[in-house]
Structure 1
C-alpha cells in the first residue's frame, strides 16, 4: 500500500520524549499526527525553570544511548548533530564523600581504572576492570533482546537470548541485588556506593534492584553527551522535526476522555470540549493515570502501580548562587554517610532522608568543571540540586517548613563534602513530589513508574499495546523503562506497533475489544 492509502489519524496524548519520538516516527512516515500536551512547552519531565533570568534544566540531565535518537532521526531524514549542538563528555561525573575523598570517572575505562587505583588501590582497580567487562556483556545481551525490542516475558527473553545459552542468562545476575553483586568487585564501601547509584537511574534502591542494572556502567562509557543550551533543547528539536513533517502540536490542552466504540478508539476529548477524531491514540502519560481512571473512557486490565511499588520521587531546587570549595563538574554526586539508611527511610519509612545523597548538575560548566564561556560574566553558578524522596505526593505533601528542613539537610551534606553555598546570593525554585504529581497525574510524584525491585519488576511494566484496539502506551512507566533514551524507544515501539497492527484485520476486529488479544 502507498502512504496515501495507509494514512492514519493518530492523536498522541503528551509531548514528552516518548510522545515526540512517536510523532517523529509517524509523521515522517506520512501519517496525520496531532499531539496534545497539557503543559506550555514540549518535553514532559524534560522541563526548564527560570531562576534569576536563567533557564535551568529541572528534569533529566544525563544524555546517553545516542544510537536510539540516531535511529529515529535517520528515518526522518536528519541527524541529531544537525538538530542540536553536542559534545561528548570525557569526564562522566565527579564524586565526593564526607571524609574529603573525591573521585572522577571517565569515558575512558583505563583513565577510570587509574583514578580508582590512586583512590583505593590496585585491587580495586582490578575489580573495576572486571566490572566493566561484565557490565558490557550484560548490555550486549539485553540491547536487542530487551531494550530495543517489544516487551518480553521471561520465557520470551530466554528464547531471544537463546534457550541453550544458560550461562549468558545467568550472567545477567537477575536474582542478585545490585548492592550484593558489587561486593564481588569492590571491597571499598565508597566504590560500592558509587556504582550502586545506578539503581537510582530507574528510581530504585540498590539494595532491592537486580544486579542487571550494572549495564548502566557500560551505557555511560559508551557515551555521555552534553547538549548545548541544556537537555530541553532536545525536546524542542524533536518537536521541530515532527512539525516539519506535518505533525500538529498543541500546548495547554488537557485530555479528559478517550472515546471508544465497537471497533476501538474513535476520538480524544479535551477539557475545552473539542473532540478530535482518531484512528489510533498513543498515550504518553504515566500508565497509572489510565489504569486508575483519571482519563475517562478506557478500562485497562493492569492495575495502577501501588504506592509501595512506586519508584523514587525527588525534591529538586533550580538554583543560582555563588559556590565555594568543592570543584563542581557538570555532573557531581556528594554521597551520604549512611547509604542503606537513606533508602530504608525512603522506601520503608516513607520519608525524606535526614542525610541525603545530593546530585548537582551545573549546566554552566563543562564536564571538567570549567565555566562555559557565556556564563563567565556571572559569578553565580546555575545548577539543579536533587535529593531522592518517596513518591507520596498524592498522600503526604510536604509543608513549606518541611521543604526548608530538607534544604538545610541538603546544604549540610554539601558542606560536609567541602562545598559551601553563599546564601546571600541564592535564588531558587523548589519542586516537590506533590508538584510532580500535579504535573504528571496518577504518579504520586514517582519519576520512573514502577520501582525495579525484584527480578520480575521489569516484566511487570506494560508494553506498547493494550487490549483496546488502537490504544497504545509510551513513556517511562512502560517498557523498556525510564530514562531519556528508553522513553524515546518506547515511543518508537508504540509507533511501530501501531503501523504493524493497522495492517492486521485480526487485531482490529470488534471482538478484540473484549480482551482476547490483551498484551497490557
Structure 2
C-alpha cells in the first residue's frame, strides 16, 4: 500500500463521481482517503444504486442484491479507505449457502463446509454425484486461481495481454479456463444428474446470462460462493450506508436528489459536469457510476457518447421480475437463500430469448428475516420453523426476464400471470404464501426507467461467447479524464465485482494523475528530483 503521508501530497483537483452505487461509493471512499477533493452526485435520495429498499405494507424490503460474498476483498477496500469493515456493518457467515428444491424430486442444501456439501450431494444423488461435485469444485477453484489477479482484480485485458499476465509459459492454464466450452456442456463432464447440472448452471444467471451460451470460465462463480456467503444486518443497504459514512469521514461531499445532465468535454478531456438544474461543477476527473450504455447513447451529452462504443440491444444481460413481499408463509422450511427450480430449464431461456418471462420459471427467494443475527424476541424467525410464528416475513423473489423494458409494456394481465406462475413454482415445492399477497412487483419497465439506456438489463453485457468478458467496458474510456465504475463495467456484476470496479477506477485516476505530475516534474530544468507519489513508502 502506498504510504498515507505521501498520498496526501497528490494533486487535489476535484473528482466528480456520478452515481452512488457500490462502485461509486467505493471510489469516493478510496479517493477521498488519498486527500483528493471528491464530490459524489446521485439523482436518488439514498445511496446504493441497485441496492435499495422499498416500503411494502409497512415493512422496508430489500429490492436489490441480497448475496454478499468475497468478504476479504471488501475488508481490504475498507482498510485502504482508513476504516474497518467490522466497525461499520454486522456480518454473520451462513452455514447453509442456499437451499435448492425441485417439486417432488428432492431438496439439496449446499454448505460453507465443503465436506458437508460433498456428503449432502452424495445423499441427494449418489456416490458418483459426490465425486462429480468434488471434481467440479476443483475445476472451479483452478479457474478462479488462474484469473483472480490477472483479470478479475486487475484492469481489463484483451486476450494477448491476459496471456502475458498469466504467463506465456502457462499455455495450459489458458486452456484450463475453458473460454470456448459452454458452461452447460462442461457441467455434463461432472454431473449426469440433470438436477445438479441445473443447479450449477444457475450460476451463469449471477451475471445475467444463460448457462447454454456462457463460457465454462464462469464456473468460477461457484468457487467464490463456496468460500463464504454472509448476511449483513440491515441488508446490503447497510453496506452502502457504511461506504457513504467512510467517504464522508474522509472528506467527500455527497449530494443526493441531483441529476447530472451532461459531462462537459474540452480539448478531448472531461473537465466538468452540468447538473440538470444548470449548475456547472469543474473537475479534473469524472467517474461515471451509471450503466456504460448511458454514456454510449448520449444520456450525458453528445460529446460524452464518444467515450464508449454502444452495446447492441441483443447483447444485453437478463432483467428480472422482482416481487417484494411482506406476508405470512407456510409449508416449506426456508433458509435465507432458496431456489425453486423449474422442470424444464431449457424452456426458461427459450422463453426469455423469445421476449417474455418464462412460463414455468425458476424462482429465487430470499427470506430476509431468516438466519438473521438478531437475538430473540426481536427476531421471531431465528429459531421458529415456517408457519409456527404466525407473523409476516419479508421476502424478495426473483424470476429472470428479458431486458426489453424500453420496448415492451408489461400489462396488468401479464403481471398477474407472471405472479401466478411464480407462485405455482413455489407451490410445487410445498411453499404457500398468504392470499391475497401483500407485495410490490418490479418489472423490466421499472428497471428501464431507473437505469436508462439499459432496457432493464441488471448486469450490463451478457457473458455470452468466449469474448464477452473482454468486451465489457473497462474503467478507462476513450475520453481522457472520464472513467467508468459499476456492475456494467469490468470485472462484472454483483456487489463484490461492483466494489472491485470502484477500486480499479480509483487506482486508474491516481495512476493517471501521478503520471501527469511526474511528467511535469521531469519537464522542469534544475531543482531537486522528487519521488513519484506512486513509489511512496509501503505501509
TM-score by length of 2: 0.91
CA contact (8 A) 2:334 2:367 kept: yes
Corresponding residue number in structure 1 for 2:438: 427
Cα deviation code 1:401-460 (max 9, x no counterpart): 111110000001111111111114x31111110101111111100000000000100000
2:271 is equivalent to residue 266 of structure 1:
yes
Shift of 1:8: 2.2
Corresponding residue number in structure 2 for 1:40: 45
Corresponding residue number in structure 2 for 1:396: 408
2:477 is equivalent to residue 472 of structure 1:
no
Give the whole-Å Cα distance in 1 for the aligned partners of 2:378 and 2:216: 41
Cα deviation code 1:5-46 (max 9, x no counterpart): 511200000000000000011001111000000111000001
Corresponding residue number in structure 2 for 1:254: 259
Corresponding residue number in structure 2 for 1:515: none
Cα deviation code 1:162-209 (max 9, x no counterpart): 111122111111111111100000000000000000000000000000
- Per mean C-alpha deviation after superposition, the further-off stretch among 4-13 and 226-235 is 4-13
1:97 to 102, 106, 109: 102
2:508 is equivalent to residue 497 of structure 1:
yes
Structure 1 segments (4+ residues) deviating >6 Å? 506-509
Shift of 1:374: 2.4
Aligned counterparts, 1:197-276, within 5 A? 197-262=202-267, 264-276=269-281
Structure 1 vs Structure 2 CA RMSD: 1.8
Cα deviation code 1:205-227 (max 9, x no counterpart): 00000111111111011111110
CA contact (8 A) 1:100 1:417 kept: no
Gaps of at least 5 residues in structure 2 are 1-5, 382-388, 521-539
CA contact (8 A) 2:70 2:227 kept: yes
CA contact (8 A) 2:69 2:229 kept: yes
Q: What secondary structure is seen at the aligned counterpart in 1 of 2:168?
A: coil
Corresponding residue number in structure 1 for 2:536: none
Corresponding residue number in structure 1 for 2:343: 337
Give the whole-Å Cα distance in 2 for the aligned partners of 1:166 and 1:468: 34
Give the whole-Å Cα distance in 1 for the aligned partners of 2:372 and 2:183: 27
CA contact (8 A) 1:501 1:507 kept: no
CA gap of 1:472–1:507, structure 2 versus 1, over 3 A, is: farther
- Per mean C-alpha deviation after superposition, the further-off stretch among 144-153 and 63-72 is 63-72
Corresponding residue number in structure 1 for 2:532: none
Shift of 1:133: 0.9
2:64 is equivalent to residue 59 of structure 1:
yes
- Per mean C-alpha deviation after superposition, the further-off stretch among 161-170 and 355-364 is 161-170
Q: What secondary structure is seen at the aligned counterpart in 2 of 1:364?
A: coil
CA contact (8 A) 1:141 1:168 kept: yes
Give the whole-Å Cα distance in 2 for the aligned partners of 1:165 and 1:457: 22
2:399 is equivalent to residue 387 of structure 1:
yes
2:166 is equivalent to residue 161 of structure 1:
yes
Corresponding residue number in structure 1 for 2:451: 440
CA contact (8 A) 1:331 1:367 kept: no
CA gap of 1:55–1:126, structure 2 versus 1, over 3 A, is: same
TM-score by length of 1: 0.94
Q: What secondary structure is seen at the aligned counterpart in 1 of 2:131?
A: helix
Gaps of at least 5 residues in structure 1 are 510-520
Give the whole-Å Cα distance in 2 for the aligned partners of 1:62 and 1:334: 17
2:471 is equivalent to residue 460 of structure 1:
yes
Shift of 1:54: 1.4
CA contact (8 A) 1:93 1:367 kept: no
Corresponding residue number in structure 2 for 1:142: 147
Q: What secondary structure is seen at the aligned counterpart in 1 of 2:26?
A: helix
CA contact (8 A) 1:264 1:508 kept: no
Aligned counterparts, 1:346-385, within 5 A? 346-347=352-353, 349-366=354-371, 373-376=378-381, 379-385=391-397
Shift of 1:504: 2.6
Corresponding residue number in structure 1 for 2:333: 327
Cα deviation code 1:67-110 (max 9, x no counterpart): 22112111122111111000111100000012241000001111
Give the whole-Å Cα distance in 2 for the aligned partners of 1:217 and 1:2: 37
Give the whole-Å Cα distance in 1 for the aligned partners of 2:268 and 2:23: 26
2:419 to 407, 421, 426: 407
Cα deviation code 1:44-66 (max 9, x no counterpart): 00111111221111110000111
Cα deviation code 1:448-493 (max 9, x no counterpart): 0000000100000111111211100111111111111111111111
CA gap of 1:411–1:263, structure 2 versus 1, over 3 A, is: closer
Give the whole-Å Cα distance in 2 for the aligned partners of 1:116 and 1:95: 11
Give the whole-Å Cα distance in 2 for the aligned partners of 1:363 and 1:247: 32
